[in-house]
Structure 1
Amino acid sequence: MMDTKWVLMTNDDGIDAPGFEMLVKAMNKAGIPLVAFAPSGNKSACSMQLNLGKPIDLHNRRELIQQWDLDESIGVHLFALDGTPCDTMIVALDGGLNHVLPDIQPSLVLSGVNLGPNLSQDSYHSGTMGAAREAGLYGIPAIASSYTSFDPEGMKVGIEATVELVQRVLPLVPKTPENLCRPHIDLHAEHVSSWPNPAPERSATEAEQQLMSAFKNGELMLNLNVPPEWNGSYQTTRLGMRWYRNAVQFSEGKGGSVESTFTIGAAYIDNETVESGDCDSVALGIASISSLPTWPQTHPLALDDALLAHALQSDETGHPMWFKG
């Protein structure tokens, strides 16, 4: 297995979540070697929360290999960390994985499959996306994946689409990430934003090559959302627009210092039509693939808007055109 590409997996629903079990089984069946560093428990909607200065334990969950009937010869290691999704990536990529499995170097990070959508502004709240973004900050290509229903029944389509995307992407990335832990920081790389100066002119071919370079170096991540009524097709998208209405429920306090009790959870969601929006894609039964910048706007390693506009171009399969870059 010397030339094998390994996938580092995590999620925010926890290692024992049914969706994670299903995804690990499907990846194993597809012959993809994997090592999981997943949270010990449910850490949904924790965004990029970290445990700073607090010891966090790593548990070897090798018993799951037998319980989940996995083919160990493919390559599979399962660990649970008593931390957040971002903790799992920092621990794994900043020495933890090398400490427990020194012979394994992941080529790609896969976070998910999340139970519930990660569309539009969910990208700020999602632990699933937070882990993928953290991986990108460390310089490794990453995919976040979500099934857009909160009902686990039917999640099989989300698993299927995720494995298909991994199989499409894995041959495109190097076995060893080119910039893991950021040993080389090139502020003049062609894919990096020139802000506050004007963006350079690019041909379509140059843009595709630069987007691929950005993905390989962790400056660009993929966000997959698969609807329960998935029709088998994909669409290259941007973030859409949705509003969570009546998001707070409350009841009066029961005495003492408790003034009121609040529960956050939208009563309903308004979606507004956006051209090539992720919300619009899943509403049509199409799996949405969004190419999203890892670094925040105005950061020196951010991507400029003109380059991201090229990321909306898709091929005949609905995948981003830059996959050919």
Structure 2
Amino acid sequence: MSGQVGSGVVTSGGECLGPLGGVAQIDGVYAASVTNEGAGTGCTVIVCPRGATGAVDVRGGAPASRETDLLRPEETVDVLHAVVLSGGSAFGLSASCGVAEELERRGIGVDVGVGRVPIVSSACLFDLACGAPDVRPTAADGARAAALALDGPHGPLACGNHGAGTGCTVGKFLGPERAMKSGLGEHVERAGKLVCGAVAAVNALGNVVDPATGAPVAGALAQDGRSIAVDADPIAAVAAAAPWLRSNTTISCVVTNARLTKAQATKVAQMSADAYAHAIMPTHTTNDGDTVFVMATGSVEAPVDAVGMLAVRALEGAIVRGAREARSAYGFTAASDL
């Protein structure tokens, strides 16, 4: 598998300055992807070695995840060291084991007296219909992505057909033959010193639309295969309960430099899920595993609602970018070729 990485530092500012580069511009945050283009799968890792306040919001009906219960506000562990977004369906959870092992080798984790245990949360998406269905991200892939993130070279994540976005598709409610290629997206927003960034692997049942204009970006194709079927009714298609419907999930991680408690981070995760509703139609279905993680590094004081609203903006941008930057592959047409 090939790798792409991102890291860096954000400088403070005054008024809202709009989009920046990748999430790893936030001090103390590192990110990288490992891609298996031939097999149509990969994984993307966001690492905070010093530990971040973590949270999660799961609204889809078919998630494949690790260490989500631990992130509830009432649970006692209050630190998160990494989030892994992976392809491979439930098999892809192996990648998070490799990330945990790599972090342990580097002395990163919660001190439990006899060693350190890294807290690594993960969510996986179904990409088995692309490339080779029997090839999935492994523990070795997760370890390599974590090492790439921490060791560099540093730069923004490659978007589109990279990492967890390699085998992503959208607009599947009219059947797989009319779905479109999607991918990995990354977007960062800033308001003064407050920074919120998001990474999203967009593998939705529904269509992706631009929240600013309502215009379709990628989704179920018209019968001629040259445009998006904007007038198609997903209700009738979903009611048919075809077996391919369960092959969806949009998974994402919001990273912020805000100082949040676990309860506050949970509220930000809940607010961030609005980005799915703004940019994906339909979303949060029983056949999607939609999941949003939050990592808060704690260097800037900011109102929770301001963090949540900025996070929504960042995640909207990541979702749209994931669809726009995808390339046609595995028999699926991308938006760039319409």
TM-score normalised over the length of structure 2: 0.29
Q: Which has the higher strand share?
A: 2
Structure of larger gyration radius: 1
TM-score normalised over the length of structure 1: 0.30
Larger RCO (CA within 8 A; separation ≥ 6): 2
